[in-house]
Structures are given as C-alpha cells and as structure tokens.
Structure 1
Amino acid sequence: MPRAEVGTPKYLANKMKSKGLQRLRWYCQVCQKQCRDANGFKCHIQSEAHLRQMLVVGENAGRHIADYSSQFQHDFVQLLSRRFGTKRVKANTVYQEFIQDKHHQHMNSTRWVTLTEFVKHLGRTGVARVDETEKGWFLAWIDNTPKALEKQEAALKKERSTMSDEQRERLLIAEQIERAKAEEEEQVASGSGSSGSPPPVEEGLKREDGAEKVVLSLSTKRIAATTTAPSVGLKLNANPLKANPLKRPNIFKTTASGSTPSTSSGTKRPVPPQSAAERLIFEDQERKRRKMERDAA
C-alpha cells in the first residue's frame, strides 16, 4: 500500500496516531521510521526499501555503528551540559529528557546496549564524573572549555592570594604527597608489568649486635704544654723575655749540676752525652777532673 500524500486526511491521521514517544524496539534507525506495533515493524523490515538500506549498511557496518554512537554521545552530552550544567544528576533523568525528542538518535543503533554501559563509557573517557548509589547511576558534566578553565584558574589565584602562608604550605605538602603516591603507583605498576619480582622494601638502618658503640663527646680536652729538657740537662728559662740571648750558658756548670747515677762506691757520675760535641766536652771534663784529683792526692 503506498504512503499517503502530504496534506491528505490519511497523512494527518497517521501523524496524529504517531504523536508522542513510541516503542524503541519498533524503530528502524537505518530508515528512520517508527512503527506503532510489532506487525507494522515486521512488515517494514520485509519491505524492499529496508532491504536495500540494509545492503548499503552491510557493506561497512562498523563505520555506520561508530557514526551512530558518536552522534548519540554528542547529542546526549550537549543536553547534559545545557540543561544541567556541572550539577550532579541522575543518569536516567537525563535520558528521559533526551528521548522526548521523537527524532533523536536511538540507542539501539549504537554500540551500547544499555544506559549503564554508556554512563560507564562517559566516566572512562573523562566526559563526566560518574558514581553509583542505591538509587542508580549519577553523573556530572566536566566543563573543559577554555572559558571555564580560565575562570577556574582566576578563582584559584584569588583563593591562593587570600590564603594564609600556613594554609598555602599545607596545600603544597598535600599536593606533593599526592604526586609522590601517584609516582609510586606508576613505578609499582611498571615493575609488576616488566618482571614478576616484587619491588624492594626499604628496611632503613640496622645495628648489628657485635658492633662497637660510637660515643661522641663535645667537651674540649686541655692539652698540657710540657717542655722536655735536653739530655745535657740544660735549664730552660721560664720567662723568655728576661733571657739574654748574648749570654751563653756554662756547659761545665750545667753538666756538674746535672743528676748523675750513683755507682757502687757511692760517687755520682754524670750521664754520658748523646751528640759527638757533647761527648768531646764530656771527655775533656773527665780528664781535667782526674788531673785535679791526682794533684790533690
């Protein structure tokens, strides 16, 4: 039976009957035709026009499904951004407003079978923030437009300018902690993917049982300044300012007054000198002493 011509009573009657939302399972996206019942949809898919369209779509079905999916996502996100903005709203509420348009892109022609899968896809791609509750799935649109980013940056600068130094430092420390956690998770993920060995665990410093104790003392030790007298037995002057550099010491006097070890006969003998010059002086002194003893005898 041919279609009713535009403007005829039959055409108007069909339009009045098809007014409002019909069953999605009786809608043909390829031909963009909405059927009112199962019998009408069965007759449509057996028609020659529908079969020709299906042959065209069958040549590259993946491309047509991808086009339908992108168009559906574009229209859905456009409604979400204009109608609700960045507010958190129930996903089914947005979908009910989306399908109120009779000529909207139907979901049965996309690669998503259910609304839940489509909402999860929006969350994975970063288009919206998605969370699941007992009442169902909720989503909030993420505004990534340049104007919104500039507005957020200006608000952040204003907030940081009014923020105190302590609050700014706490915020900076929190950001550094989050960045360190993210880097650690990435390192763990890369290490687990490359090799099965677990990452090394930092044990810190360990002290052995037999290790020697290290003692640190901050007190200063006084070093006694000791002067060693020469082996000849010369007396050093305690006050160097009073000493006369032109006056030479009497070697014989200092040698005679020096301490000598006691012999078996009770007489004290001087300690033999160490150097060659002192030895000659000592021998000369001994020779004169023996001569004086002989003269006295």
Structure 2
Amino acid sequence: MTSTTPAPWETVDPALINPRAVRLVEAFKDALARMRDEHGLTFDDLNTVTTLLTQLHDATGVPLSLCAMPLFSEVFQGGGDGYTISEDVDSPTCIPGSPMIDNPGTLPMRPDEPGVPLVASGRVLDGYGNPLAGAEMVIYHASNDGIYSGIWDDGQPKYNLRGRQITDTEGRYAFTTITPVPYSNTPSQAVDAVAAAAAALGRSLYRPAHIHYEIHHPRLLKPYRGEVYFAGDPVIPVDFVGPKIAAPSLQADTTLHDDPQDIAAHGFDRPFNTAVFDFVLKTPTSPDTAVRPLQTAWPEPKPKPQVWPS
C-alpha cells in the first residue's frame, strides 16, 4: 500500500485559523458587495484608491496604514465626545517620554519659537462635575509650520511643544504654548491625485488646528486620547480626515487679547490667545449622561513671563 504526503496547498492547520479574522474578512467582503449593488462600486474604483495610497506612500515615506488612516479614522474617532470615549485611533504623532512641566507651566519650546502665544486652561472633571485631582495630562501639538517634533528630522528638539502636567486639587490645568494653526503635509500636497481626491470629496488638504491630549487617572474607565480644536476654525467643516472628529463638544473657546496692559500683565510682548476647555470624563460611578458645565477660565496664578520672538 502506497502512502502519499499531501501537497502544501492541500493542507490547512486548524490550529492556525483565527475565527475573528475569518469573520471580519467575510464582513468586509459583504460590505463591498453591498457597495457594489447599492452604489455601483467597481473594481476600477478599488484600484484607484490603492493606487492613490501607493503614490502617497512613495511621496511621504510613511507606512501604508498611516496613508489609509483618513479613510477609516473618522469611523473610530467620530463617535465619542470625550465623555463616553470612542475607540480612538492612537495618534501616529505621539511619542513617549515627554518632560513633566509645572502647573501652571510652559511647554518646552525653542527660544525663537514662532507663533502667537497661547494660554490654555480648564479642568478635568467626572460626570458629576467633581474634579479629578492628580490626573496626568500628556499634551502636544504641531509647530507653527505644521510639523510635529521627534517625528521627522526638521531641526526641532525631540520634545518641542510636548509635555506632561498633573492637575491640581481642583482638577485644574494651565499651560503656555503657541497657538496651533491648520496644517497640511507638504509631500501629500505634491501628489496630484491627493488634491483631486480631496476636491472630489469636498475636503480641504488641511487639518484644523488642534492640541493632542492624553489623560490618565485611576478612576477613569479608560485613558482619554483625543484632540481639542478651536471654535470658529473654518477648516473644521472640510477637515481632510473628517469633520465629525472635531465635534462641537471638542472645541475650545478662544479669545484674542490685544490690550497692551493685558499683554504686559501676562509677560508677553505681543497679543496672545487664551483657550478654555473642560474635560468631562466618565468614571465607574459617573452617570451615563453628563451635563457639561460652563467653561471657566483660570486667571490666577498668571503664567511665568515669556520672551517671544518679534
């Protein structure tokens, strides 16, 4: 009797099968079939998308997964308002180990850091409006030219405009930095297909100005990871990633201060902005629905005097 060894393509090891992967792939194909039947999706459409992502990868050098993030991040980030936190996509611009600053304090920055000074403040609260004292806040944002430090070798110190801060006994935080501005990735702009795709979708090539925050506290259901935007930013409705991410509940009220006495009192040599935002985050004992309090500024103590470039 002759025994034969099965060819490699004839064998499947049951131990290697991942039921979740099988389920997700089938669900994805079902979704594509519905798009085909209901919206006329074609194979050429899929080729157009994959070609665009490949061109973007070649132009920027970033991983394909990051190139594709604008296609899916809004699905995961757009459902949360900070209180009931969505399954946020971890930001690729986050780097660990940023230095601790005082409260109130100043984010690390270069002596000639360009931009309009900003004093950001607010509170970290639970759903009942009680302060979360001792919460660790990780804070970072792009420079005035739209570049995040520590990601590309652009001459910025590794932790430029990045820091950590601990909330006080009343859950308050306050720090001085520069005012973020809308930004776009320059290599992405150079890809004609990217500009054409953004125009076809009614989107800008820019992202609205924002500050990234992570908040860690033992009482939180899960750490908060998200972005706070600025009310009135005209880029929000046409955000390249998607306007749902910058929900009204994630927009800070911003005020420009140009009175000479006010400028001098805060130690600046030019007009500056203040932005106030209260984080209302869910703990195991918080109510299912929280009423957001009115944003309250923290005028005292004033930030340490800064010398800003002219």
Instruction: Calculate the TM-score normalised by the size of structure 2.
Output: 0.22
Task: Determine which structure has greater relative contact order: mean sequence separation of CA pairs < 8 Å that are 6+ residues apart, divided by chain length.
Answer: 2
Which has more helix, going by share of residues?
1
**Structure number, greater radius of gyration:** 1
Which has more strand, going by share of residues?
2
Instruction: Calculate the TM-score normalised by the size of structure 1.
Output: 0.23
